[in-house]
């Protein structure tokens, strides 16, 4: 812990890089997975194929992707974009499965009512289904965010920045305090973002709290 406080500026610099490498792939994954997951939801065979491809993509070893992407895309080996692209693949693979499942959680009666009111498929998805699917979707986004924060540290093996560099530097110097500082920083960062997304989910879905409050009142009565 002493090393962490004594070198706080260094850790803060690594943290900024870590956040960039973690959150940009998450946003890219959302931009791809939300429209794709919405489109494939009601077509069984397309959904099955897409989810199979996503499952295969997620099983690819992260280190292998970090090494392979430069040759495929034409980037330098130490370019941070290699990590961004690799984690965007993982984020999309997880979220493209989560989006249809979140939409499936919307009550059929609500969807049926929207159709009866003359909502188009696009309008229904944007204004009815996706908002009501937020509790399930945000729960999955939390998983992806924490996964990305963890996986970024693997990039340090090939020399790409982030808090994982505290592991490699501490190992090379045989200095456990630096390794522990990296572990503590990554765990703290993951917990902060998980809590932030949890609070955001509660803020965006006030009806879930109303339901809990009413059920508690009934139980007391």
The 10s digit of each residue's pLDDT in 101-146 is: 999 998 888 888 888 888 887 788 888 898 899 999 999 999 999 9
Question: Measured between alpha carbons, how far is 19 from 167 in angstroms, rounded to an integer?
Answer: 17
* 3-state SS, residue 119: coil
pLDDT at 211: 55
pLDDT at 158: 79
Question: Measured between alpha carbons, how far is 25 from 162 in angstroms, rounded to an integer?
Answer: 15
Residues 165, 156 contacting (CB under 8 angstroms): yes
The 10s digit of each residue's pLDDT in 18-61 is: 999 999 999 999 999 999 999 998 889 999 999 999 999 988 88
Question: Measured between alpha carbons, how far is 97 from 106 in angstroms, rounded to an integer?
Answer: 16
State yes or no: pLDDT of 14 exceeds 70. Answer: yes
| Confidence tier at 8 by pLDDT (50, 70, 90) | confident
- Cβ atoms < 10 Å from Cβ of 211: 9
Q: Mean of the per-residue pLDDT values for the chain?
A: 87
106: number of CA atoms within 13 Å, CB side? 24
Q: What is the pTM of this model?
A: 0.87
pLDDT cut 90: percent of the chain above it? 43
pLDDT at 215: 47
**Length of the chain, in residues:** 221
Q: What is the DSSP code (8-state) at residue 72?
A: I
Which positions ≥6 away from 177 have C-beta within 8 Å? 1, 2, 3, 4, 170
Mean pLDDT over 178-182 rounds to: 88
């Amino acid at each position: 812990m002493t090393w962490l406080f004594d070198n706080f500026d260094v850790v803060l610099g690594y943290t900024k890089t870590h956040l960039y490498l973690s959150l940009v792939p998450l946003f890219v994954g959302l931009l791809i997975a939300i429209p794709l997951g919405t489109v494939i939801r009601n077509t069984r065979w397309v959904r099955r194929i897409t989810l199979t491809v996503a499952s295969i993509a997620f099983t690819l070893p992260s280190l292998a992707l970090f090494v392979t992407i430069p040759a495929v895309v034409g980037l330098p080996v130490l370019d941070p974009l290699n990590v961004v692209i690799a984690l965007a693949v993982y984020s999309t693979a997880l979220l493209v499965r989560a989006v249809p499942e979140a939409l499936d959680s919307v009550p059929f009666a609500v969807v049926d009512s929207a159709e009866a009111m003359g909502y188009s498929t696009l309008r229904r998805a944007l204004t009815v289904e996706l908002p009501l699917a937020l509790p399930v979707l945000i729960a999955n986004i939390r998983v992806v965010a924490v996964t990305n924060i963890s996986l970024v540290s693997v990039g340090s093996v090939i020399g790409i920045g982030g808090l994982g560099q505290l592991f490699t530097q501490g190992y090379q110097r045989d200095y456990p305090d630096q390794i522990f500082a990296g572990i503590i920083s990554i765990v703290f960062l993951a917990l902060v973002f998980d809590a932030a997304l949890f609070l955001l989910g509660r803020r965006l879905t006030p009806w879930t709290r109303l339901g809990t409050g009413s059920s508690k009142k009934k139980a007391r009565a």
